[in-house]
Every structure is written in C-alpha cells, then in structure tokens.
C-alpha cells in the first residue's frame, strides 16, 4: 500500500460529486490535492482549514496566548471565512493538554426541551427525507459554540477574551477574498438559493465569485458586542431574540429557556495506551473518541505489511468498532454508555481475533442487548484546529454546523448560519421495537463523530501529536488511519497524502481515483465489497520529531500550518 501511494497522481482539479437527489446530502466539495506544504518548527504552531484562521491563531500566540487562546482566535475567524462549516450558530469539542492533564470540553448543541422522539418522522411514522429535515427549524439545536469559547477562555486563557476576538472582527470589517472552496460549495448547494441568505451569497442570482471581497458587518458587530459584553449577549441578550426569531419562523420550537439552560460539559478526555503512546480523544456525546480508540486497540496500533491484509484488518476493525458505536453511544446524560466496557483491554483483545482474520461479513455489536440506530446519512461539513504553544500545551478542537451552511437559516443580525445538528439523531426512535440510544429526547445532545485527538507519552506528561478532521462519520476513519500511519513511521506529509480507506457498514470505502484496478481487484478477491467516493477530509496534524514540531494541513482543502514566528503573507 505504501508503494502504491507514491505512484498515484496528485490531483489539482476540483472534483464535484454527481448531482444529488432530493434525499442525499450535498456532496463535500474538494479543492483537489495541493502540493506538499508541511513545515517544521521548534516554536508554537497552528494548523487550520483557512490561511486567515491559521494567521489569527499565530497572531494570538505571538501576543502571549496559550494554545487555547490560539484555537479560539482561529475558531472566531473560521465562523467568518468558512460560513459553510462552523461558527457561532453551531457547536464543537475541545481536547486540551494544559501542561498537566488532558481535559475534554463538550460544546455540542442540545435539542429543545420540548423535542419528542418522533421529531423526524412524517405523519405515517416514516423518517422524513433528509434534506427536508435539514432545511427546517426542527433541525436546529441550541448552539454551544459561544459557551464553549467562554469556558475555554476561563479555564485555559492566558490573554484577554477580547484579544482572541480581534483578528476576526477586523477581517469581518475589512473583508476577505472568497476562496475556490466557498465558491464551489455555494455553486453546488441545492437549497441555499431559496433561503434568507440568498441575497448575501448569490448577489444577482450568482454565487459569490472566487476572489470577491466579502465583508460581514453583522458578524463584526456581533463579535464586537460579545467582546465587550461577553457571551450573555448571545445567550440572554438581543442576539438571542434574533436567533430565536430566525429559527422559530422556520418551525423551530427552541425557547429562551433552552438558551438559559445550555451548559458546556467538562470531563477527562478518554485515553488509552496504544503502543507506547496515550491516545486521548473526546468522550460521548461524541462517538469519535471511543470508536477511534477501539479501532487502534483492535489493531494494537499497527497494520500488517501485506497491503491486502492491511486493508482487511483496518476495515474489519473499523466495522467492529462501528457496530458497537451504532448501538451503545449517545449522550451519557440520557443513556448509560458502557465506556469502560467498550475500552476494556480484555474485551478488545477477544474481539481483535475477529479484526485480524479473514474479511468480515456478519458483524454484530459485542456487548449485546440493544439495537443500532437507523442512520446512514452523512452530510459532512465541519472544521478542525490543531495548536501547540511554546510551553507544550496543545489544543485539538473540532467544530461544526453539520451540513454545508447548516440548516440554511441565516441570522441576519448576527451574520452566521444556524446548525442542523439535530439531524445527527436517529430519525427512527426504535429499531425492532427497541428504543435506540441515539433517539431524539428534549435537552439531549445528538451523537457526534467528531474526534479531536491528542497523543501523549505513556505517562501523559508530554504531547507527541495533535490531530483531527471534519468528515461526518468518516472522521473516525480519517483519524484512525492517520494515527496508524504516524505510529507506523510515516511523515506528516505522507500521512496527509495517503489515500483514504474506510469501513462503516458493509462496504470497504476507497477514496475515488486513488487506487489502481489491480489493487481493487485483489480486494474484491479477498471478499471486499468496494465503494469509491470523494473523501474530502480536512486533517490538521502536528507531530513531535527530533527536529521540532512538524505540522501540516490536509491537501484536500485550503488550510495551512504556520509556525509562531513565521512571517505572515498578506491574503
């Protein structure tokens, strides 16, 4: 497989998937593979999905900010420059090493208190078509992002809250140039032209052209007020009124009380020693951390040398982990999630006999007694930030508004989209008559796949690596495969360039156009059911080496890495 990687051509063209049907999510548009650009530094370093966000993080590190402050500056900026992916109208997860311990903050959206389990069923009890559920106030959860930022600043901030907001305020006032990716996503979106954001993103009926100077004065004003008055402007003030008005007009049942009651959950990150490192990631309500750790444990952190066996082992491990994920993982405030059992070494050792054998067809969850959620729709759009500061603190943060441009509901006064995160719940509340763990319930967090991850030495005292990715439930495969590659000795750039191989259900999923026919035929012979598709991961990786930190952004998107003191190019 390694050899294969280097003979594969790199793509510099834009891919789009075929036109989507009414029910399919908009495809994730890729910006093609960029040439190698990873950097090496002994200073702090930031990696994000957009040059301006990386630059904002760098600016704040240079002003004495911690990795947490840098991540915050990047996040405020991403809400402006990637309005399709994340922002104030959404939520996210942070995994943070503060120099002593590794903590997880859960800023996931919550369902309105009044939400019922039949929320996404039609009058006949059938699941709503996915797009209909997305572009509908019913999909909007109480946003967690601003509370998450408040908590990060309170627990880990070294500079003032205002300092982290400043770069994004300036960029929103002065404008930024529309990137090819934003333009492409606008061009292919099936519903945004009919939304209340149409006049902003399709002036004269056409998507904002590449290079257009786009200003967002409402967002600048919002951040300025948040900078002065703090998060209460969002959760209790006039901005809340505007958010509720925008959502309620589209059928949402969110209330002021949902905003009053929103809380970030702080807990220990979930960690497991894999080879010689502690791998730490986000606990439930995300399924990302447990599922990545299960895959790595089932494989004991490595793949066989033979390329076909490597794919078989990787995809078997992934399928086994997804079987457990689909049945047991949900918001732990509502469901007892057997985290300890799922990560128990003897349980995983027993199950690894299945992972490392022949290609698996029949796969069931390992702990019995439940039924899987009936899902299967993926609408990936999200953003990941990786930061290390000069004191060795590290932030791994993944944030989302779920689908591209979220629910398509634009808060005019705020300058941002509202999420459609509630479509991450199982639309059907039961399977074979048994309630599924990830069913809709009032106040509950929908299960996520986000997997912001840190690797530390075995004692958990020093960071070895920082990584994460967008990609819906494909995030899990991207992060697991990248971790295996790094543990196996690939460089950061080789890891970023490696073609993706995933398995979530019955098919072995291959990144489109990256594998030759002979290889695919060998997989079919070994029993794999192959499916190819675009896999626009957005990995952001930082890895410790003898020369310092090596950092790089996924060549499939527009991100960059910048060392703390690098000179900054104007954009």
Q: How far is CA 431 from CA 49, 129, 130, 189, 330, in A?
A: 38, 18, 18, 32, 15
In the bound state with ligand GLU, the residue whose beta carbon lies nearer, of 85 and 102, is: 85
Distance, CA of 233 to CA of 241 (rounded, Å): 10
The yes or no reply on residue 282 touching ligand GLU (CB under 6 A) is no
Q: How far apart are CA 423 and CA 446, in angstroms?
A: 8
The response to whether 287 counts as a known ligand-binding position is: no
Among 235, 240, 179, 238, smallest CA distance to 207 is for 179
- Interface with ligand GLU, residue 402, by CB under 6 A: yes
Q: Which of 182, 355, 475, 502 binds ligand GLU (CB under 6 A)?
A: 475
Distance CA 179, CA 183 (A): 6
Cα 221 to Cα 59, 170, 413: the distances in Å are 21, 10, 9
**Cβ-based neighbours of 462, under 8 Å, separated by 6 or more:** 392, 456, 544
Query: Based on CB atoms, which residue is closest to ligand GLU, 254 or 422?
Result: 422
Q: Is 65 exposed, middle or buried (0-12, 13-18, 19+ CB in 10 A)?
A: buried
Nearest 5°: CA angle at 193, between 189 and 196?
120
Which residues fall within 8 angstroms of residue 185, CB to CB, at 6 or more apart? 26, 29, 84, 404, 405
Question: Residue 211, annotated ligand binder?
Answer: no
Among 400, 483, 508, 537, indicate the residue that binds ligand GLU (CB under 6 A). 400
Record the tokens describing residue 95, joined without a space.
Answer: 């995994």
- Binding string, 414-453, against ligand GLU, x = CB under 6 A? -------x--x-----------------------xxx---
Residue whose token pair is 């079919």: 524
Give yes or no: 536 in active site.
Answer: no
User: Is 309 a known ligand-binding residue?
Assistant: no
Nearest distance in Å: CB 402, ligand GLU: 4
Find out whether 311 and 523 touch, Cβ atoms under 8 Å.
Answer: yes
Cβ proximity to ligand GLU, 117 vs 424, nearer residue: 424
Is 108 annotated in a binding site? The answer is: yes
Binding of ligand GLU at residue 284 (CB under 6 A)? no
Active-site choice (41, 222, 312, 382): 382
Q: Which is nearer to ligand GLU, 27 or 44 (CB)?
A: 27
Which residues make beta-bridge pairs with 176?
214
Is residue 448 annotated as involved in ligand binding?
yes
How many residues in the shown chain lie near ligand GLU by CB under 6 A?
14
Residue 359-388 contact track with ligand GLU, rule CB under 6 A, x = bound: ---------------------xxx------
Least distance to ligand GLU, CB of residue 374, Å: 17
Question: Whose Cβ is closer to ligand GLU: residue 92's or residue 157's?
Answer: 92
Q: Which of 412, 410, 545 is nearest to 491 (CA)?
A: 545
CB of residue 208 vs ligand GLU: minimum separation in angstroms? 21
Identify the residue among 44, 107, 471, 555 touching ligand GLU (CB under 6 A): 471
Q: Which residues bind ligand GLU (CB under 6 A)?
A: 380-382, 400, 402, 421, 424, 448-450, 470-472, 475
Binding residues for L-glutamate, as ranges, are 108, 424, 448-449, 472
Catalytic positions are 382
């Amino acid at each position: 497989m390694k050899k294969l990687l280097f003979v594969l051509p790199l793509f510099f063209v834009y891919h789009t998937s075929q036109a989507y049907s009414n029910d399919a999510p908009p495809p994730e548009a890729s910006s093609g593979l960029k040439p190698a650009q990873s950097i090496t530094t002994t200073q702090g370093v930031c990696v994000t999905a957009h040059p301006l966000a990386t630059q904002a993080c760098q600016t704040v590190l240079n002003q004495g900010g911690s990795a947490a402050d840098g991540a915050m500056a990047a996040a405020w900026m991403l809400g402006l420059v990637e309005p399709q992916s994340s922002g104030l109208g959404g939520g996210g997860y942070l995994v943070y090493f503060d120099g002593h311990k590794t903590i997880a903050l859960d800023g996931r959206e919550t369902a309105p208190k009044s939400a019922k389990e039949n929320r996404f069923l039609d009058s006949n009890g059938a699941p709503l078509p996915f797009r209909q559920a997305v572009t509908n106030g019913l999909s909007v959860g109480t946003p967690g992002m601003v509370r998450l930022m408040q908590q990060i600043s309170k627990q880990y901030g070294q500079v003032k809250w205002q300092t982290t907001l400043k770069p994004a305020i300036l960029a929103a006032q002065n404008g930024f140039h529309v990137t090819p990716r934003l333009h492409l996503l606008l061009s292919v979106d099936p519903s945004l032209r009919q939304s209340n954001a149409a006049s902003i993103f399709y002036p004269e009926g056409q998507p904002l052209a590449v290079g257009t100077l786009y200003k967002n004065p409402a967002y600048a004003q919002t951040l300025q007020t948040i900078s002065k008055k703090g998060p209460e402007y969002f959760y209790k003030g006039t901005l809340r009124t505007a958010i509720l008005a925008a959502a309620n007009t589209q059928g949402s049942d969110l209330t002021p009380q949902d905003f009053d009651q929103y809380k970030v959950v702080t807990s220990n990150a979930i960690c497991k020693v894999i080879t010689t490192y502690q791998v730490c990631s986000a606990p439930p309500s995300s399924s990302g951390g447990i599922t990545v750790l299960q895959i790595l444990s089932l494989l004991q952190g490595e793949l066989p040398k033979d390329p076909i066996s490597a794919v078989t082992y990787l995809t078997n491990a992934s399928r086994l982990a997804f079987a457990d994920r689909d049945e047991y993982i949900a918001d732990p405030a509502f469901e007892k999630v057997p985290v300890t059992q799922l990560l128990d070494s003897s349980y995983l050792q027993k199950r690894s006999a299945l992972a490392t054998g022949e290609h698996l067809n029949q796969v069931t969850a390992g702990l019995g007694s439940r039924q899987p959620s009936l899902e299967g729709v993926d609408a990936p759009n999200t953003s990941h930030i990786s930061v290390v500061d000069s004191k060795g603190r590290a932030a791994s943060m993944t944030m989302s508004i779920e689908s591209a441009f979220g629910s398509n509901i634009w808060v005019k006064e705020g300058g941002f989209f509202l999420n459609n995160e509630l479509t991450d719940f199982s639309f059907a509340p039961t399977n074979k008559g048994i309630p599924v763990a990830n069913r809709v319930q009032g106040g509950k967090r929908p299960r996520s796949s986000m997997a912001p991850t840190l690797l530390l030495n075995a004692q958990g005292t020093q960071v070895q690596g920082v990584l994460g990715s967008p990609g819906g439930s494909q995030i899990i495969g991207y992060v697991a495969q990248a971790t295996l590659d790094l543990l196996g000795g690939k460089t950061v750039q080789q890891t970023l360039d490696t073609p993706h191989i995933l398995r979530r259900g019955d098919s072995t999923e291959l990144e489109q156009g990256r594998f030759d026919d002979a290889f695919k035929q060998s997989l079919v012979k070994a029993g794999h059911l192959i499916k190819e598709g675009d896999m626009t991961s957005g990995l952001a990786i930082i890895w410790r080496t003898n020369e310092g930190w090596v950092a790089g952004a996924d060549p499939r998107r527009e991100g960059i890495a910048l060392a703390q003191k690098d000179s900054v190019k104007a954009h």
